[in-house]
Amino acid sequence: MNWVDIAIIFVIAVTSLYSLMWGFIRQLMLVACFAVALYVALNFSGFVFDSFTSGWVDSETIARAMAGGLVFVGTFVVAAILTIPLFRLVRARSIRFLDHLVGLAFGFVLGWAIAGLAWIGAVLTFQIKAEDPTVQQTRLLPYVHTASITMLELAEQAPFLQSDETQLLILDAWDAMREANPVLGHGADEDEIQAAAPVLTSADDDPIAGLISSNEN
């Protein structure tokens, strides 16, 4: 166990305890707000980039990141404000105990998902490889990697993420995650490697494969 494992445990513990305190309903609404904000940021940040942030900084990457961040935060705040009346409506004393109990389980899953997203971001940002000593020494990262792979699979099949640009970004993430697969650093056999990072090659089943095939044609 190393500092990566400690960080994973910390994230899951915090989200679990937070969800236990605040309950499932409130957490579900926050996740819904996050999903809406992420969708709006992915699909409409280009307008903010073209109209505003492209003229603020010279770096296109930083300008696009700023545009996405502004759209995400603004949408999240508005969505969170709109959910306040709904939260007050559904929050009944009769289901409070069950709400908190389910919230604990939800918080655990949420923490696992957050760790998975963080792992994808770290791999893409720092070009992490399976041979890295930190990756080889961790115990929990293979489980987080499984969560990351699951989220990438869901992302490439999501109807609102089917634009060519977004699918190519997901393809880049797939390639990076395969090279950073912690199972490779633990001397796993081929079956374990395939189970941890399934490779989709059929254009009928994989939108990214179809995108590449259409571009080649």
**Percent of the chain surpassing pLDDT 70:** 82
Distance of alpha carbon 8 from alpha carbon 94, whole angstroms: 34
> Are the beta carbons of 174 and 212 closer than 8 angstroms?
no
Give SS3 for 217.
coil
Domain range annotation of the chain = 1-108, 127-217
Give the list of residues 6+ apart from residue 157 with CB closer than 8 angstroms, or none.
207
d(CA 113, CA 125) in angstroms, rounded, equals 18
Is the pLDDT score of 91 beyond 70? Answer: no
Query: What pLDDT sits at residue 105?
Result: 93
Q: Are 124 and 173 in contact (CB under 8 A)?
A: yes
CA distance 177 to 174: 5
Structure-block tokens of residue 119:
């792992």
pLDDT in the model for residue 199? 43
Higher pLDDT, 10 or 194: 10
47-84, pLDDT tens digit by residue?
A: 888 888 888 888 887 888 888 899 999 999 999 898 88
- Mean pLDDT, residues 89-114 taken together: 82
- Centre a 10 Å sphere on the Cβ of residue 78 and count the other Cβ atoms it contains: 13
The pLDDT tens digits of the residues spanning 159-196 come to 877 778 778 888 888 888 998 898 875 555 555 545 54
